[in-house]
Structure 1
């Protein structure tokens, strides 16, 4: 594995990010399983949203709000892994393209930071149904970062 530039060294590993989310956002698991941190890497994170009936909408599809929440937390996790436990990094913009009906199974979100600056982070998230290659959602987002 190639050396990671110092600027891309992780401040938090998967377990540290997951523990931080549980500490500062315990409500994430209210009413059923919440998003799970699968992995973090330089400028990336992968999240899983376990399938649960509370995420269904009429017609038997997984809801847009469930995918929106997954994308938002995936970007947040990618940022935390890079900058450390900063609870006050906040979403300033999210944009979604829903591409196809997701299967009634877990959702997987691959987040990638495109820019990590001093005051803003910009990234994208690709969401798929577990076991399938086709995208169900593409999201882009911007986070405001507090002064360090």
Structure 2
């Protein structure tokens, strides 16, 4: 499947959609969508910390998964039943006590499967804190 040349859902539209259908992810901000890419932010909050003062793995995992979903929504439009079929994450270094930013891009955009990668950064730091790859299943239209 070829990617559309323009975004189907803006970042604001994706944010609104996620707030309607996935209340558990409303603390993640969708900053940007483009065909085959998205940028999201998890605002720093003490509730995301684990012992040792670092942002927890589950918080980073959720941000990566949400970034993949935002990329798909921005590219295809509101597909509520798109589901994660696989998500692998490598934690590379301890994130600082600040916002986490996820940059997602599609690696393969097929008719039924989308494969993407997500790079996670502490805000303002160019060094990766985690890298994820994931696959989403897209329901037939």
TM-score (structure 2 length as normaliser): 0.95
Q: Would you say the 8 A contact 1:10–1:42 is kept in 2?
A: yes
* Cα distance in 2 between the residues matched to 1:12 and 1:23: 15
Please list every run of 5 or more consecutive structure 2 residues that lacks an aligned counterpart in the other structure.
none
**Match of residue 78, structure 1, among 71, 83, 86:** 71
Q: Would you say the 8 A contact 1:8–1:43 is kept in 2?
A: no
Instruction: Give the secondary-structure state (helix, strand or coil) at the position aligned to 1:111.
Output: strand
**Match of residue 21, structure 2, among 21, 24, 27:** 24
* Cα distance in 1 between the residues matched to 2:114 and 2:5: 13
Indicate the residue corresponding to 1:141 in structure 2: 134
Instruction: Give the secondary-structure state (helix, strand or coil) at the position aligned to 1:7.
Output: coil
* Cα distance in 2 between the residues matched to 1:8 and 1:126: 23
* CA distances 1:103-139 after superposition (whole Å, capped 9, x unpaired): 0000000000111111000000000000101000000
Task: Report how many residues are paired.
Answer: 140
What displacement does 1:7 show? 2.9
Please list every run of 5 or more consecutive structure 1 residues that lacks an aligned counterpart in the other structure.
none
Mapping for residues 49-68 of structure 1, pairs under 5 Å: 49-68=42-61
* Cα distance in 2 between the residues matched to 1:17 and 1:10: 11
Indicate the residue corresponding to 1:100 in structure 2: 93
TM-score (structure 1 length as normaliser): 0.91
What displacement does 1:6 show? 6.7
What displacement does 1:9 show? 2.7
* CA distances 1:22-62 after superposition (whole Å, capped 9, x unpaired): 11112324xxxx11001111210000000001100000010
Moved over 4 A (4+): none
* Cα distance in 2 between the residues matched to 1:62 and 1:12: 30
